[in-house]
Structure 1
Amino acid sequence: MAVITTYLPIVVGIALLIRLLMVGRRPKNYPPGPPTLPILGNLHLMPSKDVHLQFEKWAREYGPIYSLILGTKVLIVLSGDQAVKDLLDKKSNIYSHRQEMYIGQTICSGDLHMLMMGYNPKWRMCRKLIHALLNISSAKSYVPYQMLENKRMLYDMITQPDDFLYNIRRYSNALTTTMVYGWRTPTYNDEKIQQFFNGFEEFAEMNRTGIATLVDFFPILRYLPDFLLPARKEAKEYYKKTLALYKGHWLKAKEDTLKGTITHCFCEDLVSVQKKEGFSDDLAAFIAGVLLEAGSDTTSSTLYGFVQAMILYPEVQRKAQEEVDRVVGSDRLPTMDDEPNLQYIRSVIKETIRWMPTTIMGAVPHAVTQDDYYNGYLIPANAGVVNNAWAINNDPVRAPEPRKFKPERYLDDKLSLADSAANPDPTKRDSFTFGAGRRICPGIHVAERSLFLGVSRMIWGFNMTPKIGPDGKPIMPDQERLTQGFVCMPEPYVGTIRPRDEKRKKIIEEEWFAAERECLNPVTKQWRTGMNWVPKIKA
């Protein structure tokens, strides 16, 4: 008995050490992946920037499905179109969950952020609500708002051409705030738009690297006090600021709805749903806030990528201008009615989304709720599952010479973005940028219309060329230099945007002046009272 008592601590210590050293190891029946180290797994191999390039490299090495062991967590990376279709689409009932994100969801968002929310009744209620108000029928009703803000963007390109990124951002943000809250941001310097973009960048940076990710990979770290875990303290402060911002917007919209003075928008319907379902103002604020995030940053990032492509590939711009001139002419702006006849323009949009995906790693990983087997490999319950959009979009089998901007890839593709995503043949899907399964972007219909108006009208009205440097040589953007985070876009670059001729310049000016005069209050620059849902604005 004395011998057992003497050696028991040693035996327990050895057992605990063995168990600890097993952390980070890849079981043999998991999908293949890079070699691991005890405890760390593959954490030491994760790059601090341009993660998409490393994930693409591993995809070429280990195949369309591989695994990464990140501390105590498992990440399954889907880098083939068939794998995404088979798992995220066909088995969406078990592949629509999220791994726990302690900093990003629990602390930063009070477990209210739909993007990172688990697959639970609360998420399904939010998703059903958003889908009902952003489906294809509702998306068509937002076109008048898109028309107005698009005309303002074109006018801004004439008056402040060097600020084309800000012009694009104001367009997407003003459109989104109108659809969500019923008010628009008249200028890029508007305090509300600055608060949003600054906050979103802070959130992305906070959750991208460092302590925030380590706490997810090694949950024991969350028991540290705040002074040893500064990321948690920062996240708490971020949550307070974000909740105050989103809740302020929501409560104002709710008040205007109850008074009957709101311009018709998402929040107007959200008020009636809240009364029926009984959820809190905090949750309502985040439901609307998530729509603001999704609609503002992704559309503007895609349009910024489009401008870069036109500068780098002038032959594409020329072909697009030839098509829009043939179909539309020079006497009016393109409208949504022209879309079926502008197949090359539609192809430019699809190629932009493929070539410069905004959600470069499929945004936030899915998670599987139970053990599953695929191609002989075990995908363990609670594993994260990544839609590796960059690698799939740049698969040379799917898109030969993938880093070249070639809209011709889509000349025979007449499907909408949503219909393409639902195509039973994944090899025929246009891109994987909007996600997959039950987590696919619910605003895909609205985004497609915003992109069509933005791309077709900029092609119709402007020449986009390189800026000439002091040495007389053109300054060419580097298409491979992308920002980091959940949503990416080209790093800031310079270019020259000028009207194609005086006639088109005059039309753009007249269109904006007429829309402003007819639709907006001359003092507040908000929609006139009574111009709800289907404003009287010329297409």
Structure 2
Amino acid sequence: MILPTGLPFGAGYLSVFWIVPAAILAYKVLTFGSREKHLPPGPPTVPVLGNAHLIPTRGFFSKLKEWSDQYGPVYSLKIGRSTMIVLNDRRAVHELLSQKGAWYNDRPTDQQLVVATREENIALMHESPKWRAERKIASSFFSPKRLDSDMRPVQEAEVARLMSDLLAKPERFQEYIKRTTASVASITIYGHLATDWGSFWAYAVYIAMEAISKAIEPGTYLPVDQFPILNLIPDRWNTPKQRGKKFYVTMTDIWNEARDRVEARRRNGDKRDSLLDKLLEEDIKCDVPLSYTELNNFLGGVHMGASDTTATATLTSVLFLARHPEFQEKARVELDRVCGTERPPKWADFHDLPYINCIVKEGLRIRPVIPGGIPHFARQDHWFDGMLIPAGSTIMVPAYALNHSSESSSDPSAYNPDQFMDRAGKLAPELAAASRYNELAHHSPDPVGIQDRARGGGRREAFGVGYELRRIRGRVLAYAEEVQRALCSEKREAWRGFGKRIC
């Protein structure tokens, strides 16, 4: 039998050996970035990029809300080879991150984060024995019992200082609030107070926060995890990577100096009741050994989380109160009823000051501190309402989108603390343990409720929830108290114009 020497259209048999691989390669390229079957719906994809071309460099959180309105509360994005699942649904957040927390406890791999933090920031590191050991230390030290006993005098003293500062120079409210927040954190973690804005203990934490924001801001660095071919770019041409390395040096230098100052104090025989003092004394022991920089950056990470988020949330409430004097007046009336003019409010007054708590909750709802959330990592496949949540996908819980849904508020864009009156007396631990996911959705500064799931969720829920909420509530109380005092003093006119000046 004689075989024909060629194929139709003039093709030779040898052509098959490159046509077939070429066809397979073309198929791989054309389907790279496409949405797989059974994934939640989402924006149309294009070959290779998927939805990467749609990701904005700024305002990502508002885009997540826009896509949710268009594609539903649970949707997917394709970024190159990776899959992102966005949960803008309270039930989905509760069932996945709370009930199945162990499956979503980790963080996705992000080379920029690894470069910038070297797995030494507790909020951003992967789940590991080191992470569990550090979390155990922080959770124990910032327990509700310690917050209401050992740390309460610190809180009340710093709030009293803030009240004095605000009354003297209200136009410097932003500086005073940030100093107070940093000071409470530095006292509890390092045993040193921030005497003024020029103090290392006041400004250093905000330098570190600004640096990390620039180093890991979404959309500002190469997506090498989603597009592995980008790993071929030499480091010397990869400016964002160099920025990440620079941040690590900045962060480590700051927290090394903080430890040096504590050790210098201790060498002079001055030992205090701070977290670092207890670690150095071995009154508190870590379950795994930590290097010099690992311990310093662990404590620095706690300081950053405690200071910046609390200051931001407090400033949000102050600004909205200044713009809405009608709600400010309700707070003043409540303070008059409970405290009169003879004394400032204290933590013991919490249950008698429900409207103050409503103000805190509404500030956290309308302007969440981390509006887009911090990503989780899915360990295994899971089905939700007929949609596949695949293993290896990134899970996002966008606090801004959740808090501005029609479920959260009848008028999400309007500032209205009154809507929280039916649950004003509930504290973070109660809501964290609640079985009703619709209650969880209305609480948070990142910690607890939907917004805590945005930052942590499940086993990643922030350990200092009560700590942060007490601090925010204290600052709002200070602001409301000083408005009350000022309206009864010669500064009445200055305070009446305060809202207009700061808005």
For residues 445-497 of structure 1, give each alpha carbon's deviation from its aligned partner in whole angstroms, at most 9, with x where no partner exists. 1111112221122212216xxxxxxxxxxxxxxxxxxxxxxxxxxxxxxxxxx
CA drift at 1:5:
5.8
Number of the residue aligned with 1:434 = 452
Equivalent residues in 2 for 1:323-362 (5 A)? 323-362=334-373
Partner of 1:382: 392
Please, which of 457, 461, 475 is the counterpart of residue 454 of structure 1? 475
Alignment of structure 1 residues 250-399 onto 2, 5 Å: 250-253=259-262, 256=265, 261-271=270-280, 272=282, 273-274=284-285, 277-362=288-373, 364-399=374-409
Larger radius of gyration: 2
Larger deviation: 128-137 or 317-326? Answer: 128-137
Distance in 1, matches of 2:342 and 2:467, equals 27
- Aligned residues of 1:359 and 1:434 also touching (Cα < 8 A): no
Residue among 454, 461, 466 paired with 1:445: 466
Identify which of 401, 405, 419 aligns with 1:409: 419
Displacement of 1:326 in angstroms is 0.6
Which position in structure 2 is the counterpart of 1:532? none
Aligned to 2:144: 136
Aligned to 1:116: 124
**Structure 1 residues 278 and 460: CA distance shift in structure 2, 3 A:** same
Larger mean CA deviation between 315-324 and 135-144 belongs to 135-144
Cα distance, 1:211 vs. partner?
Answer: 4.9
- Structure 2 stretches lacking a partner, 5+ long: 7-11, 444-449, 493-503
Q: Does structure 2 retain, via aligned residues, the 8 Å contact 1:302–1:358?
A: yes
Give the direction of change, closer, same or farther, for the CA distance of 1:10–1:252 in structure 2 (3 Å limit). farther
Tell me the residue number matched to 1:490: none
SS class of match (1:447):
helix
* Structure 2 Cα separation of the partners of residues 292 and 4 of structure 1: 69
Query: Could you tell me whether the CA contact under 8 Å between 2:133 and 2:288 is conserved in 1?
Result: no
Match of 2:63 in 1: 54
**Cα distance 1:96–1:259, how it changes in 2: closer, same or farther (>3 A)?**
farther
Does structure 2 conserve the Cα–Cα contact (< 8 Å) formed by 1:270 and 1:284?
A: no
Aligned to 2:9: none
User: CA separation of 1:317/1:371 partners in 2, compared to 1, >3 Å: closer, same or farther?
Assistant: same
Cα distance in 1 between the residues matched to 2:20 and 2:427: 63
Comparing 187-196 and 14-23, the one that deviates more? 187-196
Shift of 1:352: 1.2
Q: Find the counterpart in structure 2 of residue 499 from structure 1.
A: 486
Query: Considering only aligned residues, what root-mean-square deviation do their CA atoms show, in Å?
Result: 2.3
Asked whether the 8 Å contact 2:133–2:286 carries over to 1, the reply is no
Q: Which residue of 1 aligns with 2:168?
A: 159
TM-score by length of 1: 0.82
1:96 equivalent to 2:105? Answer yes
- The answer to whether the Cα contact below 8 Å between 1:181 and 1:267 also exists between their aligned partners in 2 is yes
Supply the distance in 2 between the matched residues of 1:307 and 1:281 (Cα, whole angstroms).
39
Q: 1:211 to 1:310 in 2, by over 3 A?
A: closer
- The reply to whether residue 249 of structure 1 matches residue 258 of structure 2 is yes
Structure 2 residue aligned with 1:470: none
CA contact (8 A) 2:129 2:288 kept: no
What are structure 1's unaligned runs of at least 5 residues? Answer: 464-497, 506-539
1:16 aligns with 25
Aligned partners of 1:360 and 1:390 also within 8 Å: yes
Shift of 1:12: 2.6
Which residue does 2:134 correspond to in 1? Answer: 126
* Residue identity (%): 26
Distance (whole Å) between structure 2 residues aligned to residue 393 and residue 261 of structure 1: 46
C-alpha distance 346-249 of structure 1, shift in aligned 2 (>3 A): same
